[in-house]
Structure 1
Amino acid sequence: MSHAAKTEQRASAPFAQPDGDQYAPGAIPDRERPHSGTHRLFKWMSGRQWLLAWLATVPFGLLRASTLSESDTFWQVRTGLLTLTQKSLPTADPFSWTAKGQPWTLNSWGFNVIVALAYRVAALPGVALAGAAFVVAVTGLMLFLSRKLGATAVMAGAIVFLTSPLLIGWFSARPQLVDYIAVLVLVLLLQPLVAGRPRAWHIAAVGLLVIAWVNLHAGALFGVAIVGAVTVLASIRRVTRPRVGWCIAALAVAAVGSCLNPYGIGVVAQTGQVQSASAGIITEWDHVNIADPIQMIMLGLGVAGLAIALYRKDTAFAGALSIAVTGSITAIRILPILLLLAVPVLAAFASHPVVRRYTYSRRIMLANGAVAIVVAAAAVTFPNLAHVGRPDPGRYSSSVVNAIPSGCKLFNSYEIGGFVMLERPDVPVSLDSRNDLYGSERVLKDKQIIDGKGDLEQGLEGAGCVLVPPTSGLAQYLQHNQAWRRTAGDGAAVLFVRS
């Protein structure tokens, strides 16, 4: 094939423009080529289309921040405050009376400190806004990678906007936000190793990324798996030996970097312990459910992204997506990572020259539509800013929690334990969402008691107070038990104290 033929083929292939050049051959009519006034206007507008695409996603981050619904967030803030006060990581549980003094390892100590600092500055609204900042960074990285692959701003913004409803439920203020950012940055760093001109600083950047990642959240081991998959694919594809060597070096650096944390190589066993204690209890650790349409849509988009990456021989994205597809089938908590990785590939593939020409011909209409979407999303979000950081009123009740007698050993439901730890550190809880500390057996046993099953008196032995949902079986039992008296309650929780 001649050089001219190859050039024409690259120009017509999907996402053949690595820098997101919207002025590819055929995208703009010849009469509006450079030096024409219309072209200069379009070029000025296109540079701001990416900004509009990003601004359209900002309200989603703020909307998700309006209500805190994850129990993990509250105990992570309290743990971060304890770490800052002690200037060291806690090694034994100080918050419960059922596991007090037992060895306790933290899988997100760095993230805990970040949300604790935000809490010191602006209480729970500060925590919520910190989470929103992570979300905004995630959407920005998706758009940046889309542009690097050659997508148009219109197509990338549209796909990010359309997939946002699938992702917003996963964008709570938890350490997983770190995973979402780190995975996208990792792929960005791996691309030059297999497709460009690698430099030593790329290897160093991979190492620094993994070190920061593992100290913010132990999910960094997922990143090591991605680097390993990219290395294997590079070897299978028989790319030049130097590039395979760069990938091997990146894998070695990532593996070593993952051990540079307070627990060293023990982070591997710690991650396995969290998984084994959560499987069968926490929904996000379940296998993918083929009967769930949302899960199947996310998985389908991820598989489509993998197929496109393999077809286009994009080793970095193909390696990352292959690990994400496998992980999503095993645990649905990986589904958002899979979709985040797939979006740039899908956006670039959809930015065909035909689409480019069409979007150019409708540039004014699309620009007005983008502005209208940003304004509409902002209008929906604005009323929610009045209660940013509000604990979900359907799950958490500050008034009932404040009514707990100081020092009372509390028997509580799984969800509310973390909230009590934050609001009332003087009250020892019986359980919270630290599954790796309590173990699955303890979690399931307490759930049975809360459902009103089994020997309830034995299950409440040692407790002086009970805090459970008002509709639970245990609440109905205590309501008619003379040994307990109801002292506070609302639609979210009810408090009983021993007579």
Structure 2
Amino acid sequence: MTMSVAHTTEAAHPLRGLLPLWVGVAIYALFLLAGNRLLIDPDTMWQITVGQWIIDHRAVPETDVYSFTMRGQPWISTQWLAQVMYAKVFAMFGWSGPVVLAASAISATFALSTKFLNRHLSESTTLVFIAAGLALAVPHLLARPHVLALPVMVAWVGGMISAADRRAAPSLWLLPLMALWANLHGGFVFGLVLIAPVAIDAVWSAEARSRKSLALRWAAFGLAALLTSFVTPYGWNALLASQKILGLGAALPLIMEWKPADFGSLGALEVCLLLGTGLALYRGIKLPPVRIMLLLGLVHMALAQGRASEILALLAPLVLAAPLARQIGGAATAPSTAAPTRGVLFAGVAAALLAGTVAWTSVHRFEPHTRGSPVAAVAALKQLNLSRVFNDYDFGGYLIANGVAPFIDGRTELYGEKFFVDHNAASGLMEPENLFRLLEAYNIEATLMRTQSAATKLLDHVDGWQKIYSDDIATIHLHKSGAVHTREPAVDPKAK
């Protein structure tokens, strides 16, 4: 009885159907006000550099033109469209452009998620999911290509789940989303993979007499989606490129955003998993078998790779919404606000957001977070006019953005598993001989490493490497014949 009364009250509220709008506005304002938070990843700079290269050359890259170790090797950018978008807005508005673009994409993502959830769940339950999703996704919400693909992902998966809830096949109007996703980010492959389990869920739940025809319609949709994903400058090579990332093996756990979840301290992922488990046990919530499989798959991804937390945050609620609503009570039917009234409201909100954006960006200066970037060191390095510099992995993107060819950078799929693991073992001195082998094999003229790294400290003890610059972030060692070690004891790389 209490549940019915609550829903009746919600239904009577004239603005209930506008919850997605208010969520979108609130999240946009939040990320615009905290805009510099979106620029803390130095990779944003090299993404813009690549985007500008594409604009200038009116072509997409087919080979590496940035590093000196892999120059000329095959490399494609599956996120070329997002890079062009960031480069365009940066050229027009400076750093305000990428901030506003990323904030708009994040706002659209959560507004769409709210819309899908509120079809089944009450406003209060929807907001709980949105708050949990935001908490999980925040660490990965940066001005990078994947953020521009998030609203497409939610719309794509939400559309398929809605079709499965109706025991129907997805609308073909979803296919343009796949084409857009395939040009924005390589994560479109995940969208293709999800077609099969969602189709199985739809067919499993359908009446026996209609299962065969429904399965055929889903199969046709899956084939059409696959073909649509080829609508990129690279054709099917964009799909094949994902195999390089998945085939990085031992390299993936060494990259921060690909590391498995760490429960050494209490974090948002652990809190959400514990609360979700507790709610399921307390309310006796049951899910259809395929939905359980989907949910467990998303949880596994989030545990195995830190960067998958936002996928769990955004997609798990869509998987849960309909079956959850049938057990804890769902959304009441709300009276629709008159179309003219909605139109006036939307126009007013859009005008207010535009005015607020212009006002805020005119008085607030957005700039990348360079506290951890080798700004002064790279300025000193460029004066040396060198072409073969052995750099720390985290410095690669900053070097590209500043016109210095890196030894390695964040395009791990270009360098491959062995190269990346060798570099990691060398810079971290897990295998000290690797450091000297790479320095010799690539005829390195100087090193640019973090000041506190083991490799930097070792070079202080080695003859032939002169420390010419050092600050709290980075140190430069110049390969110079006759240079004498600056710290005792001396280390001979050739000693056994």
Give the structure-2-normalised TM-score. Answer: 0.75
Structure 1 residue 160 corresponds to structure 2 residue 130: yes
Distance (whole Å) between structure 2 residues aligned to residue 354 and residue 433 of structure 1: 45
Which runs of 5 or more structure 2 residues have no equivalent in the other structure?
333-355, 481-496
Aligned to 1:366: none
Aligned to 1:61: 31
Q: Structure 1 stretch 224-233 or stretch 52-61: which is displaced more?
A: 52-61
Distance (whole Å) between structure 1 residues aligned to residue 100 and residue 263 of structure 2: 35
Q: Show the 5 A alignment for 1:225-374.
A: 225-239=193-207, 240-241=210-211, 242-277=213-248, 278-288=251-261, 293-294=266-267, 295-299=269-273, 311=286, 321=295, 323-343=297-317, 349=324
Structure 1 residue 79 corresponds to structure 2 residue 54: no
Which runs of 5 or more structure 1 residues have no equivalent in the other structure?
1-11, 15-23, 357-377
Q: Structure 1 stretch 432-441 or stretch 143-152: which is displaced more?
A: 143-152
| Secondary structure of residue in 2 paired with 1:494 | strand
Q: 1:284 to 1:292 in 2, by over 3 A?
A: farther
Does the CA-based 8 Å contact 2:168-2:202 persist in structure 1?
Answer: no
Structure 1 residue 494 corresponds to structure 2 residue 494: no
Shift of 1:139: 1.6
Distance (whole Å) between structure 1 residues aligned to residue 181 and residue 58 of structure 2: 20
Q: 1:455 to 1:149 in 2, by over 3 A?
A: closer
Aligned to 1:441: 418
Aligned to 1:459: 438
Structure 1 residue 401 corresponds to structure 2 residue 378: yes
Q: 1:13 to 1:341 in 2, by over 3 A?
A: farther
Distance (whole Å) between structure 1 residues aligned to residue 175 and residue 136 of structure 2: 31
Q: 1:441 to 1:81 in 2, by over 3 A?
A: same
Q: Percent identity?
A: 21
Structure 1 residue 210 corresponds to structure 2 residue 188: no
Aligned to 1:368: none
| Secondary structure of residue in 2 paired with 1:70 | coil
Shift of 1:323: 4.7
Distance (whole Å) between structure 2 residues aligned to residue 236 and residue 93 of structure 1: 47
Superposed CA deviations along residues 233-278 of structure 1, whole A, max 9, x for unmatched, are 2222234345444322321211222233333333343212112224
Aligned to 2:350: none
Distance (whole Å) between structure 2 residues aligned to residue 411 and residue 441 of structure 1: 17
Structure 1 residue 476 corresponds to structure 2 residue 476: no
Aligned to 1:144: 115
Distance (whole Å) between structure 1 residues aligned to residue 470 and residue 30 of structure 2: 33
| Secondary structure of residue in 2 paired with 1:468 | strand
| Secondary structure of residue in 1 paired with 2:478 | strand
Q: Show the 5 A alignment for 1:85-100.
A: 85-100=56-71
Letter in 1 for 2:49: R
Q: 1:457 to 1:234 in 2, by over 3 A?
A: closer
Superposed CA deviations along residues 194-252 of structure 1, whole A, max 9, x for unmatched, are 344969xx533222111111121121111111111111122222343454443223212
| Secondary structure of residue in 1 paired with 2:179 | helix
Structure 1 residue 431 corresponds to structure 2 residue 405: no
Shift of 1:172: 1.8
Give the structure-1-normalised TM-score. Answer: 0.75
| Secondary structure of residue in 2 paired with 1:43 | coil
Aligned to 1:9: none
Q: 1:290 to 1:131 in 2, by over 3 A?
A: same
Letter in 2 for 1:388: F
Shift of 1:288: 5.0
Does the CA-based 8 Å contact 1:485-1:497 persist in structure 2?
Answer: yes
Letter in 2 for 1:172: L
Does the CA-based 8 Å contact 2:390-2:448 persist in structure 1?
Answer: yes
Aligned to 1:170: 140
Shift of 1:86: 1.2
Superposed CA deviations along residues 403-423 of structure 1, whole A, max 9, x for unmatched, are 22334322110001111101x
Q: 1:314 to 1:231 in 2, by over 3 A?
A: same
Name the Cα RMSD after superposition. 3.9
Aligned to 1:390: 368
Distance (whole Å) between structure 1 residues aligned to residue 201 and residue 328 of structure 2: 26
Does the CA-based 8 Å contact 2:422-2:434 persist in structure 1?
Answer: no
Q: Structure 1 stretch 140-149 or stretch 276-285: which is displaced more?
A: 276-285
Superposed CA deviations along residues 366-397 of structure 1, whole A, max 9, x for unmatched, are xxxxxxxxxxxx9xxx89x945342341x213
Paired positions, count: 437
Q: Structure 1 stretch 396-405 or stretch 260-269: which is displaced more?
A: 260-269
